[in-house]
Amino acid sequence: MADTSDFDPTNVNLTEADPTAVICYLNAGGNDYDGRLGARTSALFVIFVVSTAATLFPVAAKRIRRFRVPLYVYLFARYFGSGVIIATAFIHLLDPAYDEIGPASCVGMTGGWAEYSWPPAIALTSIMAIFLLDFLADWFVSRRYQHESQHVDVQGAICHDTQQPNERLPKILTPSNGVDSLEADDFSLDEDKIQVAFREQIAAFLILEFGVIFHSVIIGLNLGVVGEEFSTLYPVLVFHQSFEGLGIGARLSAIPFPKTFRWLPWALCIAYGLTTPIAIAIGLGVRETYDSGSYTANVVSGVLDSISAGILIYTGLVEMLARDFIFDPARTKDSKRIIFMLASLYLGTLIMALLGKWA
């Protein structure tokens, strides 16, 4: 870190001053905690309840018996959530990483950090590592079970959607009664095929949740110690975490879980809902000593944000956009439905990008 011990901010000659010392002084943090402990404590419960409910909604729609969900409600939740994940990657993770360890930051102008632009390099490494893990998982499952990739019509199972003439039910799902009265439990699914589809998709999802949780920990910790920005940050994070939870839940609802793992989607939803409140609690515990703008805090946050950005970029663009819109063998041919899906996607992207102005 630059030596700022002799730096006098009240007497600076810009033609002679060390630019690193100037930047490090301007970027210096300090503890901004200004009280309002009651409001901060309430954030623990409000964010937990709201974000958990948003995450559970798509999962409950699939798994609770006799829970009918209109098709367009499910489509909105799923594709709005996809847009949220993509915007989070670029606006809420990669951009802050540049502020924390980028070339124009205090960290990025000192030591080995000054030799390279690390945020995109770390994000790129994360993307390539996630791709390799995703590919190897799919390749291993394909070789072990000697099958072609399975497709499960979760949308049909959740929404009891009447299939169009040219959109037949995949063989993996067989309705036990009329298509017009389908329930989530009315499908007789081949357990072996469910196992295969589950193994193909669960690794990618766990990586996605891992990336989101990194981000949730950091923003939760900051909410516990932030100063005058708390009044703005609190409501913004309620929406932020809810929208992210909707994206997590929508993606989770698309994974077929075998009988032995029926408990797992609920546990994953609760885990996401608990992450930010726990981080807020930690922030409150160190509220008078934690310095979110310190050199060490910036390094940790910048690296984690860059890693998470890579995870969400890969997941959002490949697992969500490419797989759902381009390579989905059961993609609808209904123009109205496609337009609604795209509108939901772009609305989620736009709203989450706008929230980046405050959080």
State yes or no: pLDDT of 166 exceeds 50: no
Q: How confident is the model at residue 147 (pLDDT cuts 50, 70, 90)?
A: low
Q: For 247-279, how does the pLDDT look when each residue is reduced to its tens digit (9 = 90+)? A: 888 888 888 888 888 889 999 999 999 998 998
The per-residue pLDDT of the chain, averaged, comes to 80
Tell me what the mean pLDDT of segment 287-308 comes to. Answer: 85
Tell me what the mean pLDDT of segment 159-167 comes to. Answer: 49
Which of 88-92, 107-111, 147-151, 325-329 comes out lowest in average pLDDT?
147-151
Tell me what the mean pLDDT of segment 114-120 comes to. Answer: 93
DSSP bridge partners of 175: 187
In this predicted structure, what is the pLDDT of residue 179?
A: 35
Greater confidence (295 vs 127) lies with: 127
Greater confidence (273 vs 221) lies with: 273
Distances (CA, A) of 79 to 26, 74, 75, 204, 225: 40, 9, 6, 17, 34
State yes or no: pLDDT of 306 exceeds 90: yes
Most confident of 50-54, 165-169, 218-222: 50-54
In this predicted structure, what is the pLDDT of residue 178?
A: 35
In one-letter notation, the amino acid at residue 292 is S
Q: For 21-62, how does the pLDDT look when each residue is reduced to its tens digit (9 = 90+)? A: 777 777 776 667 777 888 889 999 999 999 999 999 888 877
State yes or no: pLDDT of 17 exceeds 60: yes
Tell me what the mean pLDDT of segment 190-218 comes to. Answer: 81
Query: Could you tell me the residue ranges of all domains in the chain?
Result: 39-144+187-357
In this predicted structure, what is the pLDDT of residue 200?
A: 74
State yes or no: pLDDT of 339 exceeds 70: yes
Share of the chain above pLDDT 70, in %: 81
In this predicted structure, what is the pLDDT of residue 70?
A: 82
Q: For 126-146, how does the pLDDT look when each residue is reduced to its tens digit (9 = 90+)? A: 999 989 988 887 788 777 766
In this predicted structure, what is the pLDDT of residue 309?
A: 93
Q: How confident is the model at residue 155 (pLDDT cuts 50, 70, 90)?
A: low
